[in-house]
């Protein structure tokens, strides 16, 4: 089971883990998209399973290169607000 490392950065939790393809995966959370601490303790598979069950949260890819993929965990209302093309 893959381990998850947690860091705090500008009042956000930063989740650092490794994908199956060898890339580092970094997920930035905020005060609206909170992840329970016991999910972090259970590992990467539990985090992915928990994410699939969340109907009000969305992972948005921010950046990707050969070594790292950065995602931001946001609420769906926030995502819809900033991606509406009115």
pLDDT band at 1 (very low <50, low <70, confident <90, very high): very low
pLDDT band at 83 (very low <50, low <70, confident <90, very high): confident
Strand 24-28 with 68-75, pairing: parallel
Q: What is the pTM of this model?
A: 0.82
What CA–CA distance (Å, rounded) separates 16 from 78? 23
Residue showing tokens 């930063």: 14
pLDDT for 2 equals 65
DSSP reduced 3-state for 72: strand
Give the pLDDT mean for 72-80: 89
Q: What ranges make up the beta strands (E) of the chain?
A: 5-9, 12-18, 24-28, 57-64, 68-75
Give the pLDDT mean for 63-69: 93
């Amino acid at each position: 089971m893959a381990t998850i490392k947690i860091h705090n950065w500008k009042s956000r939790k930063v989740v650092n883990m490794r994908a199956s393809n060898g890339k580092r995966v970094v997920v930035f959370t905020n005060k609206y998209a909170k992840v329970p601490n016991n999910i972090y303790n259970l590992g990467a598979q539990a985090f992915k399973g928990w994410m699939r069950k969340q109907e009000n949260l969305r992972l948005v890819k921010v950046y990707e290169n050969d070594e790292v993929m950065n995602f931001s965990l946001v609420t769906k209302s926030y995502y819809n607000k900033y991606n509406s093309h009115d």
